[in-house]
Amino acid sequence: MVAAISGAVVSSCTSAQTIRVAEHRPARIDALNKSIPSVEKQLGISIEVVEYPAPERDYMSKLLTELGAGNAPDLFTANFDSDVADLVSAGYLAPITAEVKAWDGYAHLFDVAKKLSTRANGEIYALDSMLGVEQIYFRRDLLDKAGISTAQPTSWKDLLDRAREIKKKTGKYGLLLPAGISWGGGAFNEGFALFVPGSKTPQIANDDGTLNLNGEGVRDILGLYRSLIDEDLMPIEPLLGPEPWVIPKYTMFPAGDLIATTCGTWCYIYDWGKDSKNPVPDVIKNVGTWAVPGMAGGSSVTVSGRNIWAVNAKSAHLVLAKKVLLALSSVNATVAYAQLLGNIPARKDAADNRDFQALTELVPVLKNVENGTFLKSAPGFSVVSEGVARATEALLRKQTDAVGAQAILVKYVKDLLGDKVVK
Amino acid sequence: MTGVRKFSRAEATAYGFLTVTLVFCLLPFVWVVLASVDPNASLFLSLPKGITADHFVKIFTAENGGRWFFNSLVTVGATTALVIIVGGMGGYALSRTNAWWKRPFLYAIILVRVLPPTALIVPLYKVMLISNGVMGALVRSIVPPDSIRSAMQIFGFVDGYLGLILVLSAMQLPLALWIIKTFFDLTPKDYEEAALMDGANVFQRIRRILVPLALPGLGAAGLLTFIGAWGDFLMPLTFISSSNLQLLPIGLFRAFQRANTIDYGYLSALAVLYMLPAVVAFGLARRFLVQTFTGGIKG
Amino acid sequence: MAMTYETRVAWQNRMLLVPALVLLACFILIPAGAAIYISFTNEALSGFAAAHPQLVGLKNYVRLFSDDGFWNSLVVTAFFVFGSSIVGQFVLGLASAMALSRPIAFRPVFNAAILLPNAVPEVVAGFIWISMLAGGKYSTVSRIVGLVGIPPQNWLGSLPLLMIIVVNTWRGIAFAMILMTSGLSAVPTDVYEAARMDGATPRQIFWRITLPLLRPTIFLYMLVSTAGTIAIFGLIYTLTRGGPGGATEIIGIYIYNQSFTAYQLGYGSAVAVIMLGVSVAIGTVYVRVLKVQV
């Protein structure tokens, strides 16, 4: 009784409730801080931004240990769509299906964002509030100078030949695909996965929970990696060390030592834009994009989730946290991230926002987002991601060929998820 | 008999070797000391063109350096105090007893001492998780909701002062027990017996006789515990997440990871400040290291 | 009267030890036992197994034996321990102890310099060596070896294992020196006198007299140092994080990576159990062979 009274007294005297939001990397934290004041005012609460270690892998490791301990922040982002399914099956995320569907922003979400956010059973646990559109980015100016064609490659062979031509005529690296264990989720999400739609195995996840990893498609993609590595068409040494993307993307590409790489719209702003460490002058003109060619023709542009907000299932302020989640998926909040990081808001009405229209590099991409393909993800994808990292690591260290690399991937997934899961 | 020579060949070799070794040992420190006062510090060794105290000031005004220092001092200080008390009691008992369990206990301490913390970290994490859950339930039932978080930051096992202090203490305890036991072994029992004859009870014995007598041993154990816990990296890395609970080694490590925005002058100043207490403590405790380990091979 | 007193004292001794026992049991012994249990499960940080861990028997151990990463980390650890602890620190420590046992001017200065690397925290040691080694031609080491014509390189990238051996040697000379000093001081000077009377050369004195008399000290040093070196984590993690490509992934870092970066707590525990077994073996040898006086 005394406790109840004192509890009531205390709560009526307290200031606004506090929601804790996790974020990492200075640019992201700045973007988040831009939106915080308006969200605080709108909901009458206070928001505390908790800074996490910067590299994606360390961020996720730290977050997971806290989720396991039950003292994680109320709100956080997942790095990739492939992380979400496993977070859900571990019971870490609160379902937000009802709140999202009742939200006025829902109608404005791109279909692809809706599909990426919804799990196989129709429930939504994390909202893809922004999208990363990934293609191959190349130095148009340097290709023109060397007299190499800048036309869209029509097949994997065409792409490889182009890379070989680059090497022969300029001596520089032709094409970088993220690979190796150090790159963390990047080997899968920003490299391997981009070639899946155009391969003989267009989707990895099946609705029955099995994963297509034994087929020729996977082997062919790893074969592509092997050719790039063995023929010295991509830098290898930086990928074996910590923070492997720093030298190739922030140093080699602007300097012209690397001519093409997979990347997303963030590269225009975060990696090579005017505020970056080594900007590429006149970046929109000098850096062109190719869609990722299919193995035997066609092309695809892969769309994947970014700023995938989720609510901690054990949060003490579930209702409030969900409201903050929706507020952070507003046009203004997502445009703030777009300005500093270069991803696309997952909403059609962002096109009407003046600040967004000022980001001329991104406007055409937003218009074409619905034409992108996406990779269905499923429980076990974080294991697949680590498996691909290990398989490509073996290729980087020239320890095996494509068949051997596939065996590494399959063995790893089978060891951890069981034999029946792998098809 | 040969006449007196200035330098025998052996002496010259000794000097030469020692000088090379000295350079080898001191060279890495040159950079960090210079960079900490260099307004244009970079990762590479260079002579500063000016001297500034700005970096040291910045530690306590901007950024979190002050906070990290405070957290390290609190946790490591509490650890040292706890180890001195618990180890003092235990070391005394181990020295004075002749029970059947004395020898096995001592062997067990040696075995525990060789267990690598890196091997224990995963199960320890699970143990702390469970304890944290229990503590959380306890705190939630006593403390009003708004103070739960602050209470857990002090009493929590994962991401809380209490858990980290207990873990660090457990890690440092074996060595402390051994040092204190060895020390008491060398201390004659006469004073205690005299006090007993005078009718002093155990607490009076402890306070009036034993503690002053044992001060050097306790001091050595305390200093070594301080050094060990001050430099510990793995435990804070695994168990502390909140940035306002962060300790110096992790703060330093993470600051170093921000690839684009590293301020080397600030980091060097922080490193120097972090180094100093450990170096001072080491100097004070040095005399006792030899004593402990020669104590172990009397056989 | 006498019986009650002795029993009371015995009881008091037990009570005095209880807090220490509780701390050690809760935070070291119980986790050590739990490691064995967890190694038989599929505990993980994410995914279905995080919410519903199950016993999987020896699966983790089977996976361990066929995992290249595990064997690689064993090999790396073996080289690391041998190079830095058994060879590097020992040789330099013994030489320092012998050099300093002579009447040398500036002895405190040399002493302090050699002890300093050991006194600083791991993270700082790693940090200052990054300045020495990283950065290609700007690193201090590159500049020094450039004077004798060796080309500059990214030392941590091209010779990672050698570099961590050098760094750990640098760090541990002090401990070896301290032990060797105490061992040397236990050798009576008459022995040297007698040998010199018999016309022994310094080299003969060293190999036939000093070393054999130092044997117990050397053995003690080897055991303690090996156990300590196996447990190293922070120093190497700061320098290389275990890379590049696992070249410096000593067993402590391997366990950490498997557990917290690949999220496999069960598997990490299996590796930990093996590491614990090795450590206990070393400790047992120490206790037995040296007949530790209690």
Q: What would the 3-class secondary structure string for chain B be?
A: CCCCCCCCHHHHHHHHHHHHHHHHHHHHHHHHHHHHCCCCCCCCCCCCCCCCCHHHHHHHHCCCHHHHHHHHHHHHHHHHHHHHHHHHHHHHHHHHCCCCCHHHHHHHHHHHHHCCHHHHHHHHHHHHHHHHHHHHHHHHHHCCHHHHHHHHHHHCCCCCHHHHHHHHHHHHHHHHHHHHHHHHHCCCCHHHHHHHHCCCCHHHHHHHHHHHHHHHHHHHHHHHHHHHHHHCCHHHHHHCCCHHHCCHHHHHHHHHHCHHHCCHHHHHHHHHHHHHHHHHHHHHHHHHHHHHHHHCCCC
Which parts of chain C sit beneath pLDDT 50? 1, 294
Residue A248: which domain range? Answer: 133-302+378-421
Domain check: are A209 and A313 in the same one?
A: no
Distance from CA of C59 to the nearest CA of A (A): 8
8 Å CB contact of C245 and A382: no
What sign has the CA pseudo-torsion C228, C234, C240, C243? positive
pLDDT band at A9 (very low <50, low <70, confident <90, very high): very low
8 Å CB contact of A68 and B129: yes
The answer for residues whose C-beta is within 8 angstroms of residue B53's C-beta and 6 or more apart is B37
Q: Could you read off the pLDDT of C41-87 as tens digits, one per residue?
A: 988 888 888 888 888 889 899 999 988 889 999 999 999 999 999 99
User: What's the pLDDT at B197?
Assistant: 67
A92 touches chain C (CB under 8 A): yes
Q: What would the 3-class secondary structure string for chain C be?
A: CHHHHHHHHHHHHHHHHHHHHHHHHHHHHHHHHHHHHHCCECCECCCHHHHCCCECCCHHHHHHHCCHHHHHHHHHHHHHHHHHHHHHHHHHHHHHHHHHCCCCCCHHHHHHHHHHHHHCCHHHHHHHHHHHHCCHHHCHHHHHHHCCCCCCCCHHHHCHHHHHHHHHHHHHHHHHHHHHHHHHHCCCHHHHHHHHHCCCCHHHHHHHHHHHHHHHHHHHHHHHHHHHHHCCCHHHHHHHCCCCCCCCCCHHHHHHHHHHHCCEHHHHHHHHHHHHHHHHHHHHHHHHHHCCCC
**Total domain count for chain A?**
2
Q: Which of B145, B254, B259 sits opposite A11 (nearest CB)?
A: B145
8 Å CB contact of A242 and C261: no
Q: Which of A26, A65, A243 sits opposite B261 (nearest CB)?
A: A26
The residue that leads in pLDDT, B138 or B44, is B138
Residue with tokens 């229990």: B134
Residue with tokens 């951890």: A416
Per-domain boundaries in chain B: 1-52, 64-295
Q: Which residues of C touch A414 (CB under 8 A)?
A: none
Residue to test with chain A: of C45, C58, C73, C161, most A Cβ within 10 A: C45
Domain check: are A158 and A298 in the same one?
A: yes
User: What's the pLDDT at B289?
Assistant: 57
- Judging by DSSP bridges, how do beta strands A287-290 and A299-300 pair with one another? unpaired
The residue that leads in pLDDT, C37 or B213, is C37
User: What's the pLDDT at A14?
Assistant: 42
Q: Provide Rg for chain A, Cα atoms.
A: 22
Give the residue from C289, C288, C3, C16 showing the smallest Cα distance to B95.
C16
Distance from CA of B144 to the nearest CA of C (A): 29
User: What's the pLDDT at A222?
Assistant: 95
Whether residue A174 is contained in a domain is answered as yes
User: What's the pLDDT at C293?
Assistant: 53
CATH class of residue range B64-295: mainly alpha
Lowest mean pLDDT among A106-115, A193-202, B60-69: B60-69
Distance, in Å, from the CA atom of B252 to the CA atom of C238, rounded to the nearest integer, reads 10
pLDDT surpassing 60 at residue A153? yes
8 Å CB contact of A66 and B159: yes
Q: Which of B128, B144, B156 sits opposite A10 (nearest CB)?
A: B144
Domain termination residue (choose one: A354, A370, A386)? A370
User: What's the pLDDT at B170?
Assistant: 94
pLDDT band at B196 (very low <50, low <70, confident <90, very high): low
- Domains of chain C with CATH codes: 29-66+264-294 (no CATH), 78-263 (1.10.3720.10)
- Identity of the residue numbered A421: V
Q: Which of C102, C121, C294 sits opposite B230 (nearest CB)?
A: C121
Neighbouring chains of B at 3+ CB pairs within 8 Å? A, C
Distance, in Å, from the CA atom of B46 to the CA atom of B49, rounded to the nearest integer, reads 9
Is B239:B168 a contact under the CB 8 Å cutoff? Answer: no
User: What's the pLDDT at B21?
Assistant: 92
Distances (CA, A) of B99 to B93, B106, B178, C2, C6: 10, 12, 17, 17, 11
Q: What is the pTM of this model?
A: 0.84
pLDDT band at A228 (very low <50, low <70, confident <90, very high): very high
pLDDT band at B63 (very low <50, low <70, confident <90, very high): low
Helix (H, G, I), strand (E, B) or coil at A135: strand
Q: ipTM of this predicted complex? A: 0.84
8 Å CB contact of A26 and B156: no
Distances (CA, A) of A23 to A31, A38, A60, C199, C219: 10, 18, 11, 75, 51
8 Å CB contact of A240 and C244: yes
Taken as a whole, chain A contains a residue count of 423
Distance from CA of B298 to the nearest CA of A (A): 46
Helix (H, G, I), strand (E, B) or coil at A255: helix
The residue that leads in pLDDT, B199 or C9, is C9
> Chains B, C: CB contacts under 8 A, how many?
301
Domain check: are A178 and A266 in the same one?
A: yes
Q: Which residues of C touch A235 (CB under 8 A)?
A: none
The answer for residues whose C-beta is within 8 angstroms of residue A199's C-beta and 6 or more apart is A217, A218, A220, A221, A294, A295
8 Å CB contact of B145 and A65: no
pLDDT surpassing 50 at residue A83? yes
8 Å CB contact of B259 and A243: yes
The mean per-residue pLDDT over the stretch B214-221 comes to 82
Whether residue A6 is contained in a domain is answered as no
Q: Which residues of A touch B133 (CB under 8 A)?
A: 70
User: What's the pLDDT at C3?
Assistant: 58
Distance from CA of A373 to the nearest CA of C (A): 26
The residue that leads in pLDDT, B3 or B222, is B222
* CATH, residue A283: 3.40.190.10
Q: Which of B132, B146, B261 sits opposite A69 (nearest CB)?
A: B132
pLDDT surpassing 60 at residue A177? yes
Q: Which of C42, C46, C156 sits opposite A382 (nearest CB)?
A: C46
8 Å CB contact of A379 and C63: no
Distances (CA, A) of A370 to A17, A194, A304, A360: 39, 16, 12, 19
Q: Could you read off the pLDDT of A34-60 as tens digits, one per residue?
A: 999 999 998 889 998 888 877 888 888
DSSP element (H, E) containing A288: strand A287-290
Domain check: are A143 and A278 in the same one?
A: yes
User: What's the pLDDT at B168?
Assistant: 95
Task: Note which residues in 83-102 of chain C have CB less than 8 A from chain B.
Answer: 92, 95-96, 98-100, 102
Whether residue A202 is contained in a domain is answered as yes
Domain check: are A35 and A140 in the same one?
A: no
The mean per-residue pLDDT over the stretch A366-371 comes to 83
Chain-wide mean pLDDT for chain A? 88
8 Å CB contact of B125 and A10: no
Tokens matching residue B38 = 């260099």
For residue A127, what are the β-bridge partners?
A309
8 Å CB contact of A316 and B146: no
Q: Which residues of B touch C16 (CB under 8 A)?
A: 89-90, 92-93
Is C218:C224 a contact under the CB 8 Å cutoff? Answer: no
A23 touches chain C (CB under 8 A): no
User: What's the pLDDT at A138?
Assistant: 92
The mean per-residue pLDDT over the stretch A193-222 comes to 91
Give the residue from A133, A74, A109 showing the smallest Cα distance to A321.
A74
Taken as a whole, chain B contains a residue count of 299
Whether residue A232 is contained in a domain is answered as yes
Whether residue A229 is contained in a domain is answered as yes
pLDDT surpassing 80 at residue B205? no
DSSP element (H, E) containing A132: strand A126-139
Neighbouring chains of A at 3+ CB pairs within 8 Å? B, C
Domain check: are A255 and A111 in the same one?
A: no
pLDDT surpassing 90 at residue A261? yes
The mean per-residue pLDDT over the stretch A228-233 comes to 93
